[in-house]
Protein backbone atom coordinates (compact mmCIF):
# COMPACT_ATOMS: atom_id res chain seq x y z
CA UNK A 1 0.00 0.00 0.00
CA UNK A 2 1.39 3.42 -0.93
CA UNK A 3 0.03 6.80 0.24
CA UNK A 4 0.97 10.25 -1.06
CA UNK A 5 1.41 13.09 1.43
CA UNK A 6 2.57 16.68 1.31
CA UNK A 7 4.46 16.25 4.60
CA UNK A 8 5.50 13.25 6.66
CA UNK A 9 7.02 13.98 10.06
CA UNK A 10 9.46 11.42 11.46
CA UNK A 11 9.09 11.55 15.25
CA UNK A 12 6.17 12.67 17.43
CA UNK A 13 7.86 14.63 20.19
CA UNK A 14 7.19 18.33 20.93
CA UNK A 15 8.88 19.29 17.69
CA UNK A 16 7.34 16.61 15.52
CA UNK A 17 3.72 16.77 16.59
CA UNK A 18 3.69 20.58 16.60
CA UNK A 19 5.13 20.69 13.07
CA UNK A 20 2.51 18.17 11.94
CA UNK A 21 -0.32 20.27 13.40
CA UNK A 22 1.03 23.46 11.83
CA UNK A 23 1.40 21.74 8.46
CA UNK A 24 -2.18 20.45 8.62
CA UNK A 25 -3.45 23.90 9.63
CA UNK A 26 -1.81 25.27 6.51
CA UNK A 27 -3.71 22.84 4.32
CA UNK A 28 -1.00 20.23 3.78
CA UNK A 29 -1.88 16.54 3.79
CA UNK A 30 0.16 15.30 6.72
CA UNK A 31 1.22 12.09 8.43
CA UNK A 32 3.40 11.48 11.45
CA UNK A 33 5.56 8.41 12.13
CA UNK A 34 6.35 7.36 15.69
CA UNK A 35 7.96 4.17 16.94
CA UNK A 36 7.06 4.34 20.62
CA UNK A 37 5.29 7.36 22.14
CA UNK A 38 3.07 10.16 20.92
CA UNK A 39 4.51 13.20 22.67
CA UNK A 40 8.01 11.75 22.61
CA UNK A 41 10.44 11.74 25.50
CA UNK A 42 9.25 15.09 26.89
CA UNK A 43 5.64 14.12 27.52
CA UNK A 44 6.33 10.52 28.47
CA UNK A 45 9.59 10.29 30.42
CA UNK A 46 10.97 13.81 30.46
CA UNK A 47 9.86 17.36 31.12
CA UNK A 48 6.20 16.67 31.94
CA UNK A 49 6.35 13.77 34.44
CA UNK A 50 9.42 15.31 36.06
CA UNK A 51 7.47 18.50 36.80
CA UNK A 52 4.73 16.44 38.45
CA UNK A 53 7.40 14.77 40.60
CA UNK A 54 8.88 18.17 41.44
CA UNK A 55 5.50 19.34 42.75
CA UNK A 56 5.37 16.31 45.03
CA UNK A 57 8.95 17.00 46.05
CA UNK A 58 8.06 20.58 47.01
CA UNK A 59 5.28 19.29 49.26
CA UNK A 60 7.53 16.60 50.72
CA UNK A 61 10.30 19.06 51.51
CA UNK A 62 7.84 21.44 53.18
CA UNK A 63 6.35 18.68 55.32
CA UNK A 64 9.73 17.21 56.26
CA UNK A 65 11.69 20.39 56.93
CA UNK A 66 9.47 23.46 57.26
CA UNK A 67 6.36 22.62 59.29
CA UNK A 68 7.48 24.65 62.29
CA UNK A 69 7.84 27.74 60.11
CA UNK A 70 4.23 27.40 58.96
CA UNK A 71 2.78 26.41 62.33
CA UNK A 72 1.94 22.85 61.28
CA UNK A 73 2.55 19.83 63.48
CA UNK A 74 1.76 16.13 63.19
CA UNK A 75 3.14 12.73 64.11
CA UNK A 76 4.34 9.84 61.95
CA UNK A 77 4.64 11.56 58.57
CA UNK A 78 4.30 9.04 55.73
CA UNK A 79 5.63 9.91 52.27
CA UNK A 80 4.82 7.35 49.58
CA UNK A 81 7.13 7.98 46.64
CA UNK A 82 5.34 5.38 44.52
CA UNK A 83 2.16 7.48 44.66
CA UNK A 84 4.12 10.49 43.42
CA UNK A 85 5.34 8.43 40.47
CA UNK A 86 1.81 7.14 39.83
CA UNK A 87 0.51 10.72 39.73
CA UNK A 88 3.29 11.71 37.33
CA UNK A 89 2.30 8.86 35.02
CA UNK A 90 -1.33 9.99 35.10
CA UNK A 91 -0.28 13.52 34.12
CA UNK A 92 1.85 12.13 31.32
CA UNK A 93 -0.86 9.78 30.06
CA UNK A 94 -3.42 12.57 29.96
CA UNK A 95 -1.21 14.76 27.79
CA UNK A 96 -0.21 11.86 25.54
CA UNK A 97 -3.89 11.12 24.92
CA UNK A 98 -4.32 14.82 24.21
CA UNK A 99 -1.72 14.62 21.45
CA UNK A 100 -3.64 11.70 19.95
CA UNK A 101 -6.81 13.81 20.02
CA UNK A 102 -5.02 16.68 18.29
CA UNK A 103 -3.85 14.35 15.54
CA UNK A 104 -7.44 13.27 14.88
CA UNK A 105 -8.76 16.82 15.14
CA UNK A 106 -6.30 18.01 12.49
CA UNK A 107 -6.81 14.94 10.28
CA UNK A 108 -3.19 13.84 10.62
CA UNK A 109 -2.52 10.16 9.91
CA UNK A 110 -0.56 8.50 12.70
CA UNK A 111 1.69 5.68 11.54
CA UNK A 112 3.05 3.74 14.51
CA UNK A 113 6.32 2.00 13.71
CA UNK A 114 9.99 2.52 12.93
CA UNK A 115 10.44 4.91 10.02
CA UNK A 116 13.40 4.91 7.65
CA UNK A 117 14.02 7.22 4.70
CA UNK A 118 14.88 5.03 1.73
CA UNK A 119 14.96 7.86 -0.82
CA UNK A 120 14.02 11.55 -0.90
CA UNK A 121 10.23 11.47 -0.71
CA UNK A 122 9.99 7.86 0.48
CA UNK A 123 9.73 6.47 4.03
CA UNK A 124 9.28 2.83 4.91
CA UNK A 125 7.41 2.32 8.18
CA UNK A 126 7.82 -1.06 9.89
CA UNK A 127 5.41 -1.85 12.73
CA UNK A 128 6.16 -3.94 15.82
CA UNK A 129 4.98 -7.11 14.03
CA UNK A 130 7.44 -6.53 11.18
CA UNK A 131 4.88 -5.43 8.60
CA UNK A 132 6.30 -2.73 6.33
CA UNK A 133 4.44 0.12 4.62
CA UNK A 134 5.94 2.44 2.01
CA UNK A 135 4.87 6.06 2.33
CA UNK A 136 5.36 8.64 -0.40
CA UNK A 137 5.61 12.32 0.42
CA UNK A 138 6.73 15.60 -1.11
CA UNK A 139 8.48 16.68 2.08
CA UNK A 140 9.95 15.00 5.15
CA UNK A 141 10.51 16.65 8.53
CA UNK A 142 13.05 14.76 10.66
CA UNK A 143 12.22 15.15 14.36
CA UNK A 144 13.94 12.10 15.83
CA UNK A 145 15.35 13.80 18.93
CA UNK A 146 18.31 12.73 21.03
CA UNK A 147 19.21 10.23 23.72
CA UNK A 148 21.40 10.14 26.81
CA UNK A 149 25.15 10.06 26.27
CA UNK A 150 26.72 7.21 28.24
CA UNK A 151 30.39 6.17 27.94
CA UNK A 152 30.54 2.52 26.76
CA UNK A 153 32.42 1.43 29.86
CA UNK A 154 29.54 2.57 32.09
CA UNK A 155 26.97 -0.19 31.89
CA UNK A 156 23.37 0.98 32.30
CA UNK A 157 21.47 -1.87 33.98
CA UNK A 158 18.32 0.10 34.83
CA UNK A 159 18.53 -0.90 38.50
CA UNK A 160 21.79 0.32 40.00
CA UNK A 161 23.10 2.47 37.14
CA UNK A 162 20.40 4.56 35.45
CA UNK A 163 19.67 7.27 32.94
CA UNK A 164 16.76 9.69 33.41
CA UNK A 165 14.43 7.24 31.62
CA UNK A 166 14.79 4.50 34.23
CA UNK A 167 14.95 7.02 37.06
CA UNK A 168 11.67 8.70 36.19
CA UNK A 169 9.79 5.40 35.89
CA UNK A 170 11.02 3.60 38.99
CA UNK A 171 8.50 3.60 41.82
CA UNK A 172 11.04 3.25 44.65
CA UNK A 173 13.42 6.06 45.38
CA UNK A 174 17.00 5.21 46.34
CA UNK A 175 18.16 5.75 49.91
CA UNK A 176 21.35 7.21 48.48
CA UNK A 177 22.39 8.28 45.00
CA UNK A 178 25.34 9.62 43.06
CA UNK A 179 24.18 11.84 40.22
CA UNK A 180 26.79 12.25 37.50
CA UNK A 181 26.28 15.53 35.71
CA UNK A 182 24.95 18.81 37.08
CA UNK A 183 22.94 20.06 34.14
CA UNK A 184 19.17 20.55 34.26
CA UNK A 185 18.33 16.84 34.59
CA UNK A 186 20.93 16.22 37.27
CA UNK A 187 19.89 19.11 39.51
CA UNK A 188 16.17 18.45 39.03
CA UNK A 189 16.48 14.82 40.11
CA UNK A 190 18.64 15.99 43.00
CA UNK A 191 15.76 18.20 44.11
CA UNK A 192 13.23 15.38 43.81
CA UNK A 193 15.19 12.69 45.62
CA UNK A 194 16.64 14.98 48.30
CA UNK A 195 13.15 16.27 49.14
CA UNK A 196 12.09 12.71 49.98
CA UNK A 197 15.16 12.08 52.12
CA UNK A 198 17.63 10.52 49.69
CA UNK A 199 21.31 11.17 50.45
CA UNK A 200 22.42 12.85 47.20
CA UNK A 201 25.90 13.58 45.87
CA UNK A 202 26.30 15.44 42.56
CA UNK A 203 29.51 14.95 40.58
CA UNK A 204 30.30 17.52 37.87
CA UNK A 205 33.46 17.57 35.77
CA UNK A 206 33.26 21.34 35.13
CA UNK A 207 33.89 24.02 37.81
CA UNK A 208 30.23 24.81 38.52
CA UNK A 209 26.83 23.15 38.62
CA UNK A 210 24.62 24.21 35.71
CA UNK A 211 27.80 24.73 33.66
CA UNK A 212 26.03 26.57 30.84
CA UNK A 213 24.40 29.15 33.11
CA UNK A 214 25.54 32.44 34.58
CA UNK A 215 28.22 31.62 37.21
CA UNK A 216 26.42 33.80 39.76
CA UNK A 217 23.20 31.82 39.25
CA UNK A 218 25.06 28.55 39.61
CA UNK A 219 26.65 29.78 42.83
CA UNK A 220 23.23 30.79 44.20
CA UNK A 221 21.80 27.35 43.46
CA UNK A 222 24.88 25.66 44.92
CA UNK A 223 24.41 27.62 48.15
CA UNK A 224 20.78 26.48 48.37
CA UNK A 225 21.72 22.86 47.64
CA UNK A 226 24.42 22.78 50.29
CA UNK A 227 21.89 24.15 52.77
CA UNK A 228 19.58 21.25 51.85
CA UNK A 229 22.37 18.76 52.48
CA UNK A 230 23.09 17.91 48.83
CA UNK A 231 26.82 17.26 48.43
CA UNK A 232 28.46 18.91 45.42
CA UNK A 233 31.71 17.72 43.86
CA UNK A 234 32.61 20.10 41.03
CA UNK A 235 35.81 19.98 38.94
CA UNK A 236 35.59 16.26 39.60
CA UNK A 237 35.93 13.45 37.06
CA UNK A 238 34.29 10.03 37.28
CA UNK A 239 36.97 7.39 36.76
CA UNK A 240 34.80 4.28 37.02
CA UNK A 241 31.42 2.93 38.10
CA UNK A 242 31.29 -0.50 39.72
CA UNK A 243 28.12 -2.32 40.76
CA UNK A 244 28.08 -4.25 44.02
CA UNK A 245 25.56 -6.47 45.77
CA UNK A 246 24.06 -3.48 47.55
CA UNK A 247 24.53 -0.70 45.01
CA UNK A 248 27.39 1.12 43.29
CA UNK A 249 30.91 2.33 43.89
CA UNK A 250 31.81 5.44 41.92
CA UNK A 251 35.50 6.29 41.80
CA UNK A 252 36.10 10.00 41.27
CA UNK A 253 39.16 12.25 41.09
CA UNK A 254 39.39 15.93 41.82
CA UNK A 255 41.44 18.57 43.58
CA UNK A 256 41.64 16.38 46.71
CA UNK A 257 42.73 13.28 44.82
CA UNK A 258 40.77 10.10 44.32
CA UNK A 259 37.85 8.90 46.43
CA UNK A 260 35.18 6.23 46.16
CA UNK A 261 31.52 7.19 46.57
CA UNK A 262 29.18 4.40 47.64
CA UNK A 263 25.44 4.62 47.06
CA UNK A 264 22.37 2.57 46.24
CA UNK A 265 22.17 3.99 42.72
CA UNK A 266 24.13 6.08 40.23
CA UNK A 267 22.33 8.20 37.66
CA UNK A 268 24.16 9.30 34.51
CA UNK A 269 23.09 12.73 33.20
CA UNK A 270 26.11 14.04 31.31
CA UNK A 271 24.48 15.11 28.06
CA UNK A 272 22.81 13.94 24.85
CA UNK A 273 23.71 12.55 21.45
CA UNK A 274 21.50 12.86 18.37
CA UNK A 275 19.19 10.14 17.11
CA UNK A 276 20.54 10.47 13.58
CA UNK A 277 21.62 6.88 12.93
CA UNK A 278 19.34 4.21 11.52
CA UNK A 279 16.87 6.54 9.82
CA UNK A 280 18.49 6.51 6.40
CA UNK A 281 19.75 10.10 6.64
CA UNK A 282 23.33 9.47 5.60
CA UNK A 283 22.25 7.02 2.91
CA UNK A 284 20.22 9.72 1.15
CA UNK A 285 22.98 12.29 1.55
CA UNK A 286 21.79 14.40 4.49
CA UNK A 287 24.78 16.25 5.93
CA UNK A 288 25.66 15.68 9.57
CA UNK A 289 28.22 17.57 11.62
CA UNK A 290 31.15 15.91 13.40
CA UNK A 291 28.97 15.09 16.41
CA UNK A 292 26.25 13.52 14.27
CA UNK A 293 23.74 16.40 14.45
CA UNK A 294 21.79 17.27 11.30
CA UNK A 295 22.81 20.56 9.71
CA UNK A 296 19.94 22.90 8.78
CA UNK A 297 19.47 26.46 7.55
CA UNK A 298 17.13 29.13 8.97
CA UNK A 299 14.14 27.49 7.24
CA UNK A 300 15.08 24.09 8.77
CA UNK A 301 16.09 22.75 5.36
CA UNK A 302 18.85 20.15 5.17
CA UNK A 303 21.16 19.99 2.17
CA UNK A 304 18.81 17.47 0.53
CA UNK A 305 15.79 19.10 -1.19
CA UNK A 306 12.51 18.14 0.45
CA UNK A 307 14.11 16.98 3.73
CA UNK A 308 13.89 19.24 6.78
CA UNK A 309 15.07 18.66 10.36
CA UNK A 310 14.05 20.19 13.69
CA UNK A 311 14.63 19.87 17.42
CA UNK A 312 17.29 17.99 19.34
CA UNK A 313 18.55 16.06 16.30
CA UNK A 314 19.88 19.39 14.92
CA UNK A 315 21.79 20.24 18.10
CA UNK A 316 20.68 23.88 17.98
CA UNK A 317 19.33 24.08 21.52
CA UNK A 318 18.07 20.88 23.11
CA UNK A 319 14.84 22.15 24.65
CA UNK A 320 11.26 21.07 23.95
CA UNK A 321 9.93 24.57 23.30
CA UNK A 322 12.76 25.26 20.86
CA UNK A 323 11.87 22.06 18.98
CA UNK A 324 8.25 23.24 18.78
CA UNK A 325 9.29 26.64 17.46
CA UNK A 326 11.54 25.00 14.86
CA UNK A 327 8.68 22.68 13.88
CA UNK A 328 6.42 25.62 13.14
CA UNK A 329 9.09 27.28 11.01
CA UNK A 330 9.65 24.06 9.04
CA UNK A 331 5.93 23.62 8.32
CA UNK A 332 5.51 27.27 7.35
CA UNK A 333 8.56 27.09 5.09
CA UNK A 334 7.16 24.04 3.30
CA UNK A 335 3.76 25.70 2.87
CA UNK A 336 5.24 28.98 1.66
CA UNK A 337 3.55 30.78 4.54
CA UNK A 338 4.86 33.69 6.55
CA UNK A 339 7.42 32.53 9.10
CA UNK A 340 10.18 33.89 11.32
CA UNK A 341 13.92 33.52 11.79
CA UNK A 342 14.71 31.99 15.17
CA UNK A 343 17.35 33.56 17.41
CA UNK A 344 18.61 30.64 19.49
CA UNK A 345 20.62 32.83 21.84
CA UNK A 346 17.44 34.63 22.87
CA UNK A 347 15.45 31.45 23.52
CA UNK A 348 14.22 31.08 27.12
CA UNK A 349 15.88 28.46 29.31
CA UNK A 350 14.51 27.14 32.59
CA UNK A 351 15.74 24.71 35.24
CA UNK A 352 13.06 23.52 37.66
CA UNK A 353 15.33 23.06 40.63
CA UNK A 354 14.54 24.53 44.03
CA UNK A 355 15.05 27.46 43.69
CA UNK A 356 14.38 27.63 39.96
CA UNK A 357 16.83 29.14 37.49
CA UNK A 358 15.59 30.88 34.33
CA UNK A 359 17.55 32.81 31.73
CA UNK A 360 17.89 33.95 28.15
CA UNK A 361 20.32 35.89 26.00
CA UNK A 362 23.79 36.97 27.06
CA UNK A 363 25.34 36.60 30.48
CA UNK A 364 27.32 39.60 31.70
CA UNK A 365 30.61 38.07 30.57
CA UNK A 366 29.24 36.96 27.20
CA UNK A 367 27.93 40.48 26.53
CA UNK A 368 31.32 41.98 27.39
CA UNK A 369 33.10 39.42 25.22
CA UNK A 370 30.76 40.36 22.35
CA UNK A 371 31.93 43.97 22.63
CA UNK A 372 28.96 45.51 24.44
CA UNK A 373 29.25 48.17 27.12
CA UNK A 374 26.62 47.03 29.58
CA UNK A 375 24.45 48.14 32.45
CA UNK A 376 23.14 45.58 34.93
CA UNK A 377 20.03 45.86 37.06
CA UNK A 378 19.51 43.49 39.96
CA UNK A 379 16.90 42.99 42.65
CA UNK A 380 16.74 40.40 45.44
CA UNK A 381 13.66 38.35 46.32
CA UNK A 382 14.36 39.02 50.02
CA UNK A 383 12.93 42.52 49.45
CA UNK A 384 9.79 41.25 47.69
CA UNK A 385 6.61 40.97 49.76
CA UNK A 386 5.09 38.08 47.82
CA UNK A 387 8.21 35.92 48.08
CA UNK A 388 8.45 36.61 51.81
CA UNK A 389 4.82 35.57 52.21
CA UNK A 390 5.55 32.35 50.32
CA UNK A 391 8.57 31.66 52.49
CA UNK A 392 10.72 31.56 49.33
CA UNK A 393 13.01 34.57 49.58
CA UNK A 394 16.28 33.18 48.19
CA UNK A 395 17.48 34.44 44.85
CA UNK A 396 17.28 37.49 42.61
CA UNK A 397 16.60 38.80 39.13
CA UNK A 398 19.29 40.34 36.95
CA UNK A 399 18.82 42.22 33.66
CA UNK A 400 21.74 42.89 31.31
CA UNK A 401 21.26 45.93 29.05
CA UNK A 402 23.28 47.69 26.35
CA UNK A 403 24.50 50.92 27.89
CA UNK A 404 24.42 52.84 24.59
CA UNK A 405 20.97 52.03 23.20
CA UNK A 406 19.15 50.48 26.15
CA UNK A 407 18.61 47.17 24.32
CA UNK A 408 17.96 44.22 26.63
CA UNK A 409 20.76 41.72 26.02
CA UNK A 410 19.75 39.03 28.47
CA UNK A 411 18.52 38.17 31.93
CA UNK A 412 18.99 35.55 34.59
CA UNK A 413 16.64 34.86 37.49
CA UNK A 414 17.02 32.56 40.48
CA UNK A 415 14.11 32.11 42.86
CA UNK A 416 10.50 30.98 43.27
CA UNK A 417 8.67 30.18 40.00
CA UNK A 418 11.06 32.36 37.99
CA UNK A 419 10.34 30.26 34.89
CA UNK A 420 6.93 32.00 34.90
CA UNK A 421 8.53 35.45 35.11
CA UNK A 422 10.91 34.99 32.19
CA UNK A 423 8.45 35.41 29.25
CA UNK A 424 7.91 39.10 30.04
CA UNK A 425 11.61 39.72 29.49
CA UNK A 426 11.85 37.52 26.39
CA UNK A 427 8.90 39.36 24.85
CA UNK A 428 10.37 42.73 25.77
CA UNK A 429 13.66 41.85 24.06
CA UNK A 430 11.88 40.58 20.94
CA UNK A 431 9.75 43.74 20.72
CA UNK A 432 12.87 45.90 21.28
CA UNK A 433 11.61 47.40 24.53
CA UNK A 434 14.11 48.87 26.96
CA UNK A 435 14.54 48.18 30.65
CA UNK A 436 13.06 51.63 31.34
CA UNK A 437 9.85 50.63 29.55
CA UNK A 438 9.60 47.49 31.68
CA UNK A 439 10.27 49.55 34.80
CA UNK A 440 7.49 52.00 33.87
CA UNK A 441 5.00 49.20 33.23
CA UNK A 442 2.87 48.97 36.36
CA UNK A 443 3.08 45.51 37.92
CA UNK A 444 0.41 44.25 40.30
CA UNK A 445 1.30 44.26 43.99
CA UNK A 446 2.13 42.01 45.69
CA UNK A 447 3.51 39.73 42.97
CA UNK A 448 6.78 38.03 42.23
CA UNK A 449 6.83 39.95 38.94
CA UNK A 450 7.68 43.11 40.86
CA UNK A 451 11.21 41.71 41.15
CA UNK A 452 11.51 42.02 37.36
CA UNK A 453 10.18 45.59 37.50
CA UNK A 454 12.63 46.53 40.25
CA UNK A 455 15.56 44.92 38.41
CA UNK A 456 14.56 47.00 35.37
CA UNK A 457 14.64 50.14 37.53
CA UNK A 458 18.03 48.93 38.73
CA UNK A 459 19.52 49.09 35.23
CA UNK A 460 19.59 52.86 35.71
CA UNK A 461 20.56 52.47 39.37
CA UNK A 462 17.12 53.44 40.65
CA UNK A 463 15.36 50.45 42.27
CA UNK A 464 12.62 51.67 44.59
CA UNK A 465 12.72 49.10 47.37
CA UNK A 466 16.44 48.50 47.75
Residues placed in the known binding site = 51, 115, 181-188, 204, 271, 312
Cβ(121)–Cβ(135) below 8 Å: no
- Which candidate in 338, 354, 445, 465 is catalytic? 445
Q: Is the pLDDT of residue 282 over 70?
A: yes
At 2, is the pLDDT very low, low, confident or very high (cuts 50, 70, 90)?
A: low
Q: Is the pLDDT of residue 255 over 50?
A: yes
408-422 residue pLDDT tens: 999 999 999 999 999
The CA–CA distances, whole Å, from 364 to 154, 350, 383 equal 37, 18, 23
Give the Cα separation of 316 and 272 in Å (integer).
Answer: 12
Beta strands in 127-269 (DSSP E): 132-142, 146-148, 161-162, 176-180, 199-203, 231-233, 237-243, 248-254, 257-263, 265-268
Do domains 2-148+273-335 and 355-459 share one topology? The answer is no
Beta strands in 102-160 (DSSP E): 109-112, 114-119, 122-126, 132-142, 146-148
**Strands 356-361, 109-112: parallel, antiparallel or unpaired by DSSP?**
unpaired
100-124 residue pLDDT tens: 999 999 999 999 999 999 999 999 9
Buried b (16+ CB within 10 A) or exposed e, 411-420: bbbbbbbbbe
Class of domain 355-459: alpha beta
Percent of the chain exceeding pLDDT 90 equals 97
Q: Which pLDDT does position 383 carry in this prediction?
A: 96
176-212 residue pLDDT tens: 999 999 999 999 999 999 999 999 999 999 999 999 9
Give the Cα separation of 187 and 203 in Å (integer).
Answer: 11
Q: Which pLDDT does position 420 carry in this prediction?
A: 98
Q: What is the mean pLDDT of residues 326-343?
A: 98
Q: Which pLDDT does position 381 carry in this prediction?
A: 98
Q: Which pLDDT does position 3 carry in this prediction?
A: 65
429-440 residue pLDDT tens: 999 999 999 999
Secondary structure of residue 28 in the 3-state scheme: coil
336-357 residue pLDDT tens: 999 999 999 999 999 999 999 9
Closest CA to 281 of 143, 148, 149: 143
Burial of 463 (0-12, 13-18, 19+ CB in 10 A): buried
Secondary structure of residue 417 in the 3-state scheme: coil
42-96 residue pLDDT tens: 999 999 999 999 999 999 999 999 999 999 998 999 999 999 999 999 999 999 9
Contacts for 161 with CB less than 8 Å, ≥ 6 apart: 154, 155, 241, 243, 248, 265, 266, 267, 268
Residue 445 is among the residues annotated as catalytic for this protein: yes
Cβ(14)–Cβ(320) below 8 Å: yes
**Strands 146-148, 272-274: parallel, antiparallel or unpaired by DSSP?**
antiparallel
Q: Is the pLDDT of residue 1 over 60?
A: no
CATH number assigned to the domain covering 2-148+273-335 = 3.50.50.60
Taking all residues of the chain, what is their mean pLDDT, rounded to a whole number? 96
Give the Cα separation of 463 and 374 in Å (integer).
Answer: 17
Give the Cβ contact number of residue 87 at 10 Å: 15
Give the Cα separation of 196 and 65 in Å (integer).
Answer: 10
Residues placed in the known binding site for NAD(+) = 181-188, 204, 271
Give the Cα separation of 232 and 428 in Å (integer).
Answer: 36
362-394 residue pLDDT tens: 999 999 999 999 999 999 999 999 999 999 999
**DSSP string spanning 342-392?**
--GGGS-EEE-SSSEEEEEE--HHHHHHTT--EEEEEEEGGG-HHHHHHT-
Q: What is the mean pLDDT of residues 292-314?
A: 98
Ordered by start, the domain boundaries in the chain are 2-148+273-335, 161-270, 355-459
- Does domain 161-270 fall under CATH 3.50.50.60? My reply is yes
At 332, is the pLDDT very low, low, confident or very high (cuts 50, 70, 90)?
A: very high
Q: Which pLDDT does position 173 carry in this prediction?
A: 96
Amino acid sequence: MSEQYDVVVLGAGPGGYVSAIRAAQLGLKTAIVEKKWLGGVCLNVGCIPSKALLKNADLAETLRERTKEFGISFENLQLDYSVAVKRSRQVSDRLTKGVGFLMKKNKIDVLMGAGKITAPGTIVVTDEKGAAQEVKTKNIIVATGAQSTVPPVWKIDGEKVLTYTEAILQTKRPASAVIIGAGAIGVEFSTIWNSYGTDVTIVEMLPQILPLEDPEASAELAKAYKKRGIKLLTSTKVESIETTETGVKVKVSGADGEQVLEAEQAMVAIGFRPNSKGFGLEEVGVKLDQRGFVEVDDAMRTNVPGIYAIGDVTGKLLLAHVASAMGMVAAESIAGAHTVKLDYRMMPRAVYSHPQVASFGYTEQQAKDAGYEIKVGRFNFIANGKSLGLGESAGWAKIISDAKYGEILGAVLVGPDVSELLPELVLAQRMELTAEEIARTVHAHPTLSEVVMEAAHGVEGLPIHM
